[in-house]
Amino acid sequence: MLQKVAVVLAQNMAMFEFGVVCEVFGLDRTEQGLPGFDFRVCGADPGRPLRSSTPGVTVTPDYSLDQLAGADLVAVPAFPVTALDDGLDPRLVDAVRGAADAGAIVLTVCSGAFLAGEAGLLDGRKCTTHWRYVDDLAARYPAATVDPDVLFVDEGNLVTSAGTAAGIDACLHLVRREIGSAAANGIARRMVVPPQRDGGQRQFIERPVADCTSDSLGTTLTWMSEHLEHQHTVEELAARARMSTRTFARRFAAETGTTPVKWLTTQRVLYAKHLLEDSDDGLERIAGLAGFGSAALLRHHFQRQVGIAPTEYRRRFGGEPR
């Protein structure tokens, strides 16, 4: 159960990543029936302003690192990786290590994983960080297994997330895991973000689709996502994008990192997850709406991508049908 949440700030902390943690755990939403947290922003020198990554903006932690003792969750927002060259404040490293040893869950956002690495928390475990830093993370902490392809990694009492908005996914995942689906969905609705780009005991986060630099391709992607029930062909999609089939396939791979068929399958699985979460439709109907055509095909692709059967996913993550 998450009750006491302590955020550890380093010099030049990233404001967005810090804000993500504050948004999920720091705002009082108890009047809406959502859980409240004992939220504390901690620094090595409480009352002393710390620089942020935004010029002209400082943050003053009210609490000392002693507050990490007894915390259920210790969150570490991003900070410049270059700070490692001069050495992180050993007080931060010792405090995070001590909290983890005492049983706290440690959550890192983006480059915050490096503080966990300095504390020895990554050794022998899977982890991730922003794609720009994965090679550096693997080089600095060779005993860790760095996964560059996921939004976050859940290792029980260690959760590491990729860059920026992936921190939202990791935070909501923790709320869901520790408190329940209703709480995570409620917070997500207040934040106007998807509530369930997350996994249970097994990591099965989908990578977000990249924004397209080509307007025509971007329009085609939007149309595809809005008409998943149709059986698309590459030739028809290329014509819609006003490209040759060969050019369309090449541009599609360059923009999304995958093929049209694989992209469609991923989007259909994501939509099926949404329907399993928010409706009481049967599998045959969901398969039709998502474009799979049959429940058997839905089960095949869902199990392959998500790691569990659709019925099990609904049991774990389904809420009240809207």
**What contacts 24+ positions apart, CB below 8 Å, involve 186-189?**
186/29, 186/32, 186/33, 186/34, 187/24, 187/29, 187/34
| Strands in the chain per DSSP E | 4-8, 38-43, 50-51, 58-59, 63-64, 73-76, 105-109, 126-127, 145-146, 152-154, 158-161
Using an 8 Å Cβ cutoff, are 170 and 158 in contact? no
126 in a structural domain: yes
- State whether 50 and 112 are in the same domain: yes
CATH number at residue 239: 1.10.10.60
Domain end, chosen from 132, 159, 191, is at: 191
| Residue 201 forms part of a structural domain | no
CA distance 257 to 115: 31
Q: What burial class does residue 91 get, using C-beta atoms within 10 Å of its C-beta: 0-12 exposed, 13-18 middle, 19+ buried?
A: middle
Residue with tokens 């369930």: 196
Instruction: Answer whether 128's CB lies under 8 Å from 155's CB.
Output: no
Q: Let me know whether 23 and 163 are in one domain.
A: yes
Q: Which residues pair with 152 in a beta bridge?
A: 161
The pLDDT value recorded for residue 205 is: 41
| Residues in the chain, pLDDT under 50 | 198-210, 321-322
Total domain count for the chain?
2
Residue with tokens 């947290």: 37
Does residue 149 share a domain with residue 11? yes
User: Are residues 102 and 153 located together in one domain of the fold?
Assistant: yes
Same domain, 121 and 242: no
303/317 Cα distance (integer angstroms): 15
Structural domain boundaries, residue 271: 209-322
Q: How far is it, in rounded angstroms, from Cα 88 to Cα 94?
A: 11
Residue 266 in domain: yes
Choosing from 132, 158, 191, the residue where a domain stops is: 191
DSSP 53: S
- Same domain as 150, residue 57: yes
Same domain, 183 and 46: yes
- CATH code where residue 22 lies: 3.40.50.880
Domain edge (last residue) among 142, 162, 191: 191
SS (H, E, C) 215-253: HHHHHHHHHHHHCCCCCCCHHHHHHHCCCCHHHHHHHHH
321 and 216 within one domain: yes
Residues 163 and 285 placed together within one structural domain of the fold: no
Half-sphere exposure of 194 (CA within 13 A, CB side): 17
Residue 18 within any structural domain of the chain: yes
- Residue 16 confidence (pLDDT): 95
Same domain, 172 and 255: no
Helix (H, G, I), strand (E, B) or coil at 278: helix
pLDDT of residue 252: 87
Q: Tell me the pTM.
A: 0.64
Please write down the HEC assignment for all residues of 85-112.
HHCCCHHHHHHHHHHHHCCCEEEEEHHH
Residue-wise pLDDT tens digits, 161-194:
988 888 999 999 999 889 988 898 899 889 988 7
Residues 220 and 298 in one domain: yes
Burial grade of 119 (CB within 10 A; 0-12, 13-18, 19 or more): buried
Residues 174 and 320 both lie in one domain: no
